Chains A and B, each alone.
Chain A
Amino acid sequence: MAHHAPEEGRFGRFGGRFVPESLVPACQELEEAFANAWADPEFLSTYRRILADYGGRPTPLTECRRLSEQLGIRLLLKREDLAHTGSHKLNNVIGQALLTKRMGKTRLVAETGAGQHGVATATAAALFGLQCTVYMGETDVRRQELNVFRMRLLGAEVRPVNSGSATLKDAINEAMRDWVGSVEDSHYCLGSVMGPHPYPWMVRELQRVVGDEAAGQCRSATGEDPDFVVACVGGGSNAAGTFAGFVDTKAALVGVEAAGGAAVTNGVLGVVHGMASLFIQDDAGQILEAHSISAGLDYPGVGPEHSFLAESGRAKYVSASDAEVLDAFVALGRTEGIVPALESAHALAWVMKEAGREIPSGSTVVLTLSGRGDKDVAQVMEMGII
């Protein structure tokens, strides 16, 4: 996970830039703009200053005393739920909004699943005086009503998408269609480590602050690197950012997918949304709908670097069922007073299941809590599980 751009945007046999010709020049321009910006001390210091003064970084690494005792491990949470807008998504959009200004563009287009990336993009657009259009599947608009209102409150236009499964995959299709027609003045602010080169690399770099901070904080707190580093994976941005900080340590890296959208676990190599990666698809190559309790993980593909890390064996990918996730969602609130996003609860669900089994008792585990669960409270309340 070196900082520089991977050759031709490839991570092993994954990645690449499979976009309609209309978008190729824009992807090239973006690649060049990001490569220059990322090597420009002034850009870096502006980016870091905004993340600190405005975004609330560094976020803490919280030791979970009660839950650790129950599980027989030492569990540390990287608290992205405490970042401004309530998730890790801000790290990425601040970087991309700065780039948008640098490229002289005036409008952000984004897709969103759970709404966290949409809210973060709307926030950055407001902060930088950019126009903002967010595409969101109709299904997600319904189950994430609060985030839809937050985006509108921040001045963004939210366009519901009815096509296909009306979730994240279709929101990405629609955002790409918008971008094909608006590329001259608009930047596609993609929310995860996916899509055509340079996005998987760029978004991972913009998210590596999560892993870099956590690695330092873990050493300060425990005197050593953790045994396990765990994060949830949809497209995979919080996991990619987290893993970037630990890839050169002894830590086992574990990505937890939603059982109904587990592209690494159940996917097949394909080329969709600009990238060669693993996708859940039928024999003919038609992409199938993912199903998950969490809108943010409801995606039938995964970022190409995760496919590569899985194939190379450096990271391991597992999945958690909706029921296990709900248990974890409740458990963290009751033992630590922290209500996690349903997405992040996937990572916790795996740790709770495997503590004392695959995770030996006494292990140190760093888990990225990618976001807070306020947005999910209404949905869980309706389920009547409490």
Chain B
Amino acid sequence: MTQTLAPQSLEETLRSARDRGKKLLVPYVTGGFGDDWPHLVAAVAHAGADAVEVGIPFSDPVMDGPVIQETSRLALQAGATPSSVLADAAREQPGVPLVAMTYYNLAFRAGLERFAAQSHDSGFSGAILADLPLDEAGPWLAAAQAQSLATILLVAPTTPPERMERICKASSGFVYGVGVMGVTGERDALSRSAVEVAKRLKAVTDLPVLIGVGVTDADQARSLCEIADGVIVGSALMRRRLANQSAEEVAEVVAGIRRGLDRG
């Protein structure tokens, strides 16, 4: 095990960047999609990411729109497994915290303790399980905590206030505000619900508040970050990968969003 694989604390990293006045950017990459995907993880990291979300492809991704459904399908077809994605994600030394993004069945089938340990040992700092809501999260939270793995919980536009507070208390690393009522994918305009969720979250938690789902470009990212601490961008990058753009071209999109956020 090399030094580069020691996971950085996600929350400390994000908090300290935020507290320096930096807006946070977390790009998403589907693990196992394209031969050079670990290179893409490193490329987007070096283009100005504060952390990278690595998708572990699942056969039935109900929270994902057409783009990530397709990258997931192709990754599975190419033989990607949870173990291979976890093992390879940090191969090209991204140098920022990695967050696994997947669906609960993959962790459940592996065994929660085993999956958490494997994530930690592969250099991951946190995990997002898209279909594991607070009420069902107890066993996973215990397993993740034992490995110092952050669990990022989601808050939706429909989440009532009291529940939102409970989710923020149980979440670690950051809290993921779902920007729109819908599945992952690009949207032409910034949704009012994204701004609303960001506002509501900022009012109840000191955790870094990142907004994802529907965040498409630098303009949207910048205007969301007038309120939120940061954004997650996925489908906009993966769509370009599906169109055979190189890792460098996709990284340039990330760099563009970074410049937009830094301009403030």
**A residues whose Cβ falls under 8 Å from a Cβ of B:** 8, 16-22, 24-26, 163-164, 169-170, 173, 176-177, 180-184, 268-274, 279, 281, 283-288
Q: Are A180 and B182 in contact (CB under 8 A)?
A: yes
Q: Is the CB of B82 within 8 A of A285?
A: yes
Residues of A within 8 A of B69 (CB): 163
Q: How far apart are the CA atoms of A273 and B104 in the complex, in Å?
A: 11
B167 at the interface (CB under 8 A from A): yes
Closest 3 CB pairs of A and B: A285-B109, A181-B182, A22-B156
Which B residues form the contact surface with A (CB < 8 A)? 58-65, 69, 73, 76, 81-83, 104-106, 108-110, 130-136, 153-160, 163, 167, 178, 180-183
For B159, what are the chain A residues with a Cβ–Cβ distance below 8 Å?
Answer: 21, 24-25
- Minimum CB–CB distance from A186 to chain B (whole Å) comes to 11
Q: How far is the CB of B132 from chain A (nearest CB, A)?
A: 6
Q: Closest Cβ of chain B: how far from A109's Cβ, in Å?
A: 13
B105 in complex: contacting residue of A25, A170, A272, CB < 8 Å: A272
In whole angstroms, what is the CA distance A273 to B62 when docked?
A: 8
- Residues of chain B within 8 A (CB-CB) of A268 are 109
CB atoms of B60 and A18 under 8 A apart: no
Chain B residues, CB < 8 A from A273: 60, 62
CA distance A170 to B73 in the complex (A): 13
Say whether A18 contacts B131, CB under 8 Å: yes
Closest-CB distance, B64 to chain A (whole angstroms): 8
Q: How far is B156's CA from A182's CA once the two chains are assembled, in angstroms?
A: 13
- The answer to whether A181 touches B81 (Cβ under 8 A) is no
Interface contact A284-B60, CB-CB below 8 Å: no
- Chain B residues whose CB sits within 8 angstroms of the CB of A285 once the complex forms: 58, 82, 105-106, 108-110
A21 & B60 in contact (Cβ 8 Å cutoff): no
- The answer to whether A22 and B158 touch across the interface, beta carbons within 8 angstroms, is yes
Q: Is the CB of B133 within 8 A of A173?
A: no
Q: Which residues of A contact B154 (CB under 8 A)?
A: 20-22
* Chain A to chain B contacts (Cβ below 8 Å), 17 pairs: A20-B62, A20-B63, A21-B156, A22-B157, A22-B158, A24-B158, A24-B163, A25-B158, A173-B61, A173-B62, A177-B183, A180-B63, A180-B181, A181-B182, A272-B60, A279-B105, A287-B60
Contacting pair B62 A177 (CB below 8 A): yes
Given known pairs A16-B136, A18-B133, A287-B60, the reply for A26 and B158 (CB within 8 Å) is: yes
Residues of A within 8 A of B83 (CB): 284
Chain A CB within 10 Å — which of B59, B104, B167, B183 has the most? B59
Residues of B within 8 A of A272 (CB): 60, 105
How far apart sit A24 and B63, CA to CA, in the bound complex (Å)?
13
Residue in A169, A170, A181, A286 whose CB lies within 8 Å of B181 = A181
Question: Per DSSP, are chain B's interface residues mostly helix, strand or loop, or mixed?
Answer: loop
User: A196 → chain B, closest Cβ, in Å?
Assistant: 9
Q: Cβ of B158: which chain A residues have Cβ within 8 Å of it?
A: 22, 24-26, 183-184
Using A163-B73, A272-B105 as known contacts, say yes or no to A24 and B181 having CB atoms under 8 A apart.
no
Which residues of chain A come closer than 8 Å to B163, judged between CB atoms?
Answer: 24-25
CB-based contact B181/A22 at 8 Å:
yes
Contact A271 B104, beta carbon cutoff 8 Å: yes
Rounded to whole Å, the gap between the CB of B201 and the closest CB of chain A is 12
Where chain A touches its partner, the secondary structure class is mixed
| Beta-carbon nearest neighbor of A288 in chain B | B59
Choose one: A21, A181, A184; the contact of B133 (CB below 8 Å): A21
Taking CB atoms, residues of chain A closer than 8 Å to B156 are 20-22, 24-25
Choose from B73, B106, B155, B182 the contact partner of A284 (Cβ within 8 Å). B106
Given contacts A20-B63, A286-B76, A287-B60, contact A183 B155 (CB under 8 A): no
CA distance A25 to B156 in the complex (A): 10
A22 to B163, CA, bound (A): 12
User: Which of B65, B69, B83, B183 has the most C-beta atoms of chain A within 10 angstroms of its own C-beta?
Assistant: B183
Q: Please, which residues of chain A bring their CB within 8 A of the CB of B182? A: 180-181
B105 and A271 contact, CB distance less than 8 A: yes
Which A residues touch B178, using CB under 8 A? Answer: 20-22
B100 to A: closest C-beta gap in Å: 14
Write the nearest CB–CB distance from A179 to chain B, whole angstroms. 9
Residue pair A18, B106 in contact (C-beta under 8 Å) = no
**In the complex, what distance in Å separates the CA atom of A51 from the CA atom of B122?**
57
Residues of B contacting A283 with CB < 8 Å? Answer: 109
Whether the pair B108, A271 counts as a contact (CB closer than 8 A) is yes
Nearest residue, chain A, Cβ from B157: A22
Most buried by B among A18, A177, A284: A284
In the complex, A22→B180 CA distance in Å? 9
Known: A21-B134, A164-B60. 12 other contacts (CB 8 A): A17-B135, A19-B133, A21-B155, A21-B178, A22-B154, A177-B64, A180-B181, A268-B109, A284-B109, A285-B108, A285-B109, A288-B59
CA of A273 to CA of B167, assembled, Å: 22
What separation, in Å, do the CA atoms of A17 and B160 have in the docked complex?
17
Contacts of B58 in A (CB 8 A): 285-286
- When distances are taken between beta carbons in the complex, the residues of chain B under 8 Å from A284 are 81-83, 106, 109-110
Residues of A within 8 A of B62 (CB): 20, 173, 176-177, 180, 273
Least Cβ–Cβ distance between A343 and chain B, in angstroms: 22
CB distance from A104 to the nearest CB of B (A): 15
CA distance in complex: A18, B130 (Å): 9
Cβ–Cβ contact B130 & A20, under 8 A: yes
Nearest chain B CB to A255's CB is how many angstroms away? Answer: 23
In the bound complex, CA of A8 to CA of B108 (Å) = 19
Q: Which residue in chain B gives the minimum CB-CB distance to A276?
A: B108
Chain A residues whose CB sits within 8 angstroms of the CB of B104 once the complex forms? 18, 271
Nearest CB in chain A to that of B178: its residue: A22
Hey, which chain B residues are within 8 Å of A288, CB to CB? 59
Which residues of chain B are near A164, meaning CB under 8 Å? Answer: 59-60, 73
A271 to B158, CA, bound (A): 23
A residues less than 8 Å from B132 (CB atoms): 18
Contacts A21-B153, A25-B160, A285-B108; is A180 near B183 (CB within 8 Å)?
yes
